[in-house]
Amino acid sequence: MNALSPEEIELNKKLAVLQRLRDRLANREEEMADMRAQLEQFEARYTMEVGRLYADLDEIEAQIAEEEVKLVPDDQEIRKKAEELRKRAEESAARAADESLENISFKLRPSPEAKKAYRDLARVIHPDLALDVAEKLKRHGLMARLNEAYSAGNQTLLDNLTADFRNSPDLINGDSAGDNLVRALRQISQINNRIKELSEERLKAQLSELFILHEKARAEMTQGRNMLEQMAERTKTHIKKSERRLVNLRNVNVSAEEYVKERFGMDISDFR
């Protein structure tokens, strides 16, 4: 039996390290995919249950400001405020429209089988295992499809992606021990860089307002309270108050128009 060369011994060590890093990277990718899916789901729920009400409230507040402009048309501060509120109302309405019921596709929580398929495939197709630009681009496309299938809980697509890649000629190589050692060292470096990127992405997500709100809602749920429902009810109360104020302002403006028309025969709406 031939003794292993120093390069082969070192290669075996690095391949063992690479195997552990592949597993760790696959787990980190899965965790991040889970977090993205959960935040997307929560954002969609928030928009449907609360965000739309905020959009309605912004619209009413804009209309109130526009009625106030009619009362004092020469006041530039009030006019500027009305323009700002109108812009905010349009932006809120656009956000709410983007998340309409027809456009929201709730992602399913991945099954244990989907999780296993994701980890297995992520270990071998990850872009950071590629050593040339063309292969890296190809793997980026595969990883994007893998993430999409995983987030949607599409077991069939996960299985098909796995089968396709296992039959790929890209998995076959017959390089020397020295070349394989260089390849392993580069892959180890790339994987470590990707793990660092995922850690930074996770930290950024955890510091976001959306994540903080999501965690708050989840904590409230464990206490039997539905935070989004409570926020929605409070917003509905604000909407009713604002609607009453809008009606009162409109009545004041209508009364002023009728008085000027009756007293002076002028239609002041032409001057507004």
Helix (H, G, I), strand (E, B) or coil at 189: helix
* pLDDT of amino acid 205: 97
Tell me: pLDDT of 108 over 90: no
* pLDDT of amino acid 105: 46
* Assigned domain for 12 exists: yes
Residue 251 belongs to what domain range?
7-167+175-266
Reported as a pLDDT band with limits 50, 70 and 90, residue 262 is confident
* pLDDT of amino acid 106: 45
Per the listing, tokens 């955890």 go with 206
**Pick the residue with more confidence: 88 or 177?**
88
Tell me: pLDDT of 269 over 80: no
What distance in Å separates the CA atoms of residue 246 and residue 61, rounded to the nearest whole number?
A: 8
Most confident of the following: 46-50, 156-160, 231-235, 267-271: 231-235
What is the domain count for the chain? 1
**Pick the residue with more confidence: 1 or 190?**
190
CB 45 within 8 A of CB 228: yes
* Assigned domain for 1 exists: no
Burial of 157 (0-12, 13-18, 19+ CB in 10 A): middle
Which helix (H) or strand (E) segment holds residue 139: the answer is helix 133-151
* pLDDT of amino acid 1: 55
CB 96 within 8 A of CB 52: yes
* Assigned domain for 158 exists: yes
* pLDDT of amino acid 221: 95
* Assigned domain for 272 exists: no
Tell me: pLDDT of 103 over 70: no
* Assigned domain for 24 exists: yes
pTM (two decimals): 0.68
CB 50 within 8 A of CB 235: yes
CB 10 within 8 A of CB 111: no
Give, to the nearest 10 degrees, the angle between helix 133-151 and helix 155-166.
160
Per the listing, tokens 């899916």 go with 37
Instruction: Provide the 8-state DSSP code for 169.
Output: G
Reported as a pLDDT band with limits 50, 70 and 90, residue 104 is very low
* Assigned domain for 106 exists: yes
Per-chain mean pLDDT for the chain: 85
DSSP string, 45-111: HHIIIIIHHHHHHHHHHHHHHHHHHHHSTT-HHHHHHHHHHHHHHHHHHHHHHHT-TTT--PPPPPP
Most confident of the following: 78-87, 105-114, 143-152: 78-87
Among 18-22, 75-79, 137-141, name the one with the lowest average pLDDT. 137-141
Reported as a pLDDT band with limits 50, 70 and 90, residue 172 is very low
* Assigned domain for 154 exists: yes
CB 77 within 8 A of CB 97: no
Residue 121's φ and ψ, nearest 5 degrees, are -75, -40
- Going by C-alpha positions, the residue among 96, 84, 95, 56 that lies closest to residue 239 is 56
* Assigned domain for 29 exists: yes
